[in-house]
């Protein structure tokens, strides 16, 4: 696996040899079914970890790659489709929130998803209310 900084670029091996990187960057695009999700109430004592799957479609004309997904907090962990997503196909980003030892009350967390498209990134949001 090759990396540049913290970005895994092993996805480059999946691009057809007759496709230039510039063409791929200009043609892939992503559309999430829902960019925001509410967990509602999350109990700190009963099952504080909650996961939601954000499903997306490659609406472009070239393979789509998620380069990286980063959360702004250690309590929020993203896992995502690592393989190329062909045009018209679907993939997902799973986001797990851990309410353990977090302050009670409402929260909003974001995950930034970096992709090889005209729109180089998109943000997903989770929210909810932590209760005892």
Task: Look up the domain containing 9 and give its range.
Answer: 3-131
**Cross-strand bridge partners of residue 106:** 129
Q: What's the distance, Cα to Cα, between the start and end of the chain in Å?
A: 43
Nearest to 121 by CA among 78, 70, 86, 87: 70
Count of domains in the chain?
Answer: 1
Q: pLDDT (tens digit, 0 to 9) for every residue of the chain, 132 residues total?
A: 444 455 566 656 666 666 565 554 558 999 999 999 999 999 988 778 999 999 999 999 899 999 999 998 899 999 999 999 999 999 999 999 999 989 999 999 999 999 998 778 999 999 999 998
Helix/strand/coil (H/E/C) assignment for every residue in the chain: CCEECCEECHHHHHCCCCCCHHHHHHHCCEEECCCEEEEEEEECCCCCEEEEEEEEEECCCCCECEEEEEECCCCEEEEECCCCECCCCEEEEEEEEECCCCCCEEEEEEEEEEECCCCCEEEEEEEEEEEC
Distance between CA 24 and CA 63 in Å, rounded? Answer: 7
CATH of the domain at 41: 2.60.40.10
pTM: 0.79
């Amino acid at each position: 696996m090759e990396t540049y900084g913290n970005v895994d670029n092993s996805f480059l091996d999946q691009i057809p040899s007759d496709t230039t990187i510039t063409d791929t960057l200009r043609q892939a695009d992503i559309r999430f079914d829902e960019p925001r999700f509410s967990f509602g109430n999350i109990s700190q004592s009963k099952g504080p970890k909650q996961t939601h799957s954000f499903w997306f479609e490659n609406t472009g004309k070239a393979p789509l790659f998620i380069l990286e997904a980063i959360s702004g907090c250690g309590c929020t962990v993203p896992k995502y489709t690592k393989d190329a997503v062909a045009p018209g196909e679907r993939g997902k980003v799973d986001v797990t929130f851990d309410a353990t030892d977090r302050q009670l009350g409402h929260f909003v967390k974001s995950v930034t998803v970096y992709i090889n498209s005209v729109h180089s990134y998109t943000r997903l949001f989770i929210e909810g209310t932590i209760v005892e």
